[in-house]
A and B are shown apart, each in its own frame.
Chain A
Amino acid sequence: MTDMTGFVELWVYLSATPLFGLTATLVTYVLAHAFYMRMHQAAWANPVLWSVVLIAVARLITHVPYPRYFSGAQFIHFLLGPAVVALAWPLWQRRADLRARWGRLLLAAVLGGAAASGSAVALAWAMGLPQEIVLSMAPKSVTAPVAMGIAEKIGGIPALSAVFAVLTGLVGAVSGRFLFRLLNIPTTTNGWVARGFSLGTAAHGIGAARAMQVNVDAGAYAGLALGLQVVLASILVPLVFHFLR
């Protein structure tokens, strides 16, 4: 019995320190990634998806509130900023190629972004969802923190937009390969460029992370696409909704 209370005390102490959230995140991801490699990088074995599910379940069982988990996980979360800055590196390496096809890429980014955002809003409206939810759908193809900022501007609910953005990223990362195969997109350099750019456009960072694991060209163009989408969506989504009112 004394052993048990000792254990509980130790647990209460450990789970309250930032060390706990940080360790849990890193260890779970390392394991999920090992599983992903063993499954020959199958899309359904996506390491982000499984890490998130495992930690969420563990958090429910152990009753660790999210803010306490995040006090440790924030050290990993913080690196998202420098990682976005780092996207300049794969772009710089492909600058000659970028110069050659920038027009087509910009067209794909505008049309793809409009298709994702427009279809989300139209479908949500057609299915009779409440207006706040419809509006929160508009910025869902950009990375969560940016989606929240846009949602605030157009009268959506920021937390909801973050939820939609992460779900969108996971859907894209998991289903992209099947969709591309269905459309007969080749695995040539041009095919990888198209696949990667498409994932970065419609499924932001989570899709781009998947592209980077599969092919270097796909990864680089996914990075470019997600950067472009952030720029385009931050400017165009509020503008469109301003005129719709």
Chain B
Amino acid sequence: MNNKADMEGLRGLAWLLVMQTAGELLARLLPLSLPGPVIGMMLLLVALRWSAVRLPVSSCADFLLKHLSLLFVPVGVGVMAHLNLLGDYGLRILVVVVLSTWCGLIVTVLVLSRSPRDD
């Protein structure tokens, strides 16, 4: 394994952090109501046309996204700690959350699967 391949993952992470930082800066400087990482994603989408960015980012991004589930565990545990906020409304809230999530899933999937490309 040569030196360059060794550094690829770290370089990829560095690019991701640079894009996120640029995104956070833009989010604060411009009157945008978008979160920094989302602006960072758009910047990276443009930067990926250069192989100096693309090659390192690909290995690092694949790794991060493969384990995306793990990254939601700390927030999830926090939510469990705040379940008492729901108080007496717990059951009704659960019904609303379940039904509205299904509603969103069904509408989205139907709009796309009725696409003319299928016919």
Contacts and interface: CB of A to CB of B under 8 A. Distances in A.
Contacts, number: 302
Nearest to A188: B118
B66 A212 contact: yes
Closest 10 CB pairs of A and B: A116-B104, A112-B108, A202-B104, A52-B76, A120-B100, A56-B80, A73-B74, A194-B112, A86-B61, A89-B61
A196 to B, nearest CB: 10
Contacts of A133: 89, 93
B5 interface: no
A80 B73 CA distance: 11
A57 to B, nearest CB: 9
29 contacts: A28-B73, A33-B69, A52-B77, A69-B77, A77-B71, A84-B40, A86-B57, A88-B44, A90-B61, A90-B65, A101-B115, A111-B108, A112-B108, A116-B105, A119-B104, A129-B96, A137-B97, A141-B104, A160-B85, A183-B110, A185-B109, A190-B118, A198-B104, A201-B105, A201-B108, A203-B104, A227-B41, A230-B38, A234-B35
A144 B110 CA distance: 26
B113 interface: yes
B92 A162 contact: no
A198 B65 contact: no
A87 B65 contact: yes
A168 B98 CA distance: 7
B30 interface: no
A209 B72 contact: yes
Contacts of B58: 89
Interface in A56-74: 56, 59, 66, 69-70, 73-74
Interface string B85-119: 11001001111111111111111111111010110
Most buried by B among A85, A149, A203: A85
B72 A205 contact: yes
B69 A213 contact: yes
Contacts of A123: 95-96, 99-100
Given A84-B38, A88-B42, A88-B44, A129 B71 contact: no
B105 A70 contact: no
A203 B41 contact: no
A51 B73 contact: yes
Contact of A164 (B13, B60, B62, B97): B97
Interface residues of A, number: 111
Interface in B1-59: 13, 16-17, 19-20, 23, 33-38, 40-42, 44-45, 48, 54, 57-58
Given A85-B19, A191-B113, A238-B33, A201 B104 contact: yes
Contacts of B97: 120, 137, 140, 164, 167-168, 171
Nearest to A162: B79
A144 B75 contact: yes
A176 B61 CA distance: 25
A91 B61 CA distance: 11
Given A89-B61, A213-B69, A101 B117 contact: yes
A81 B36 contact: yes
A152 B116 CA distance: 40
Contacts of B106: 115, 179, 183
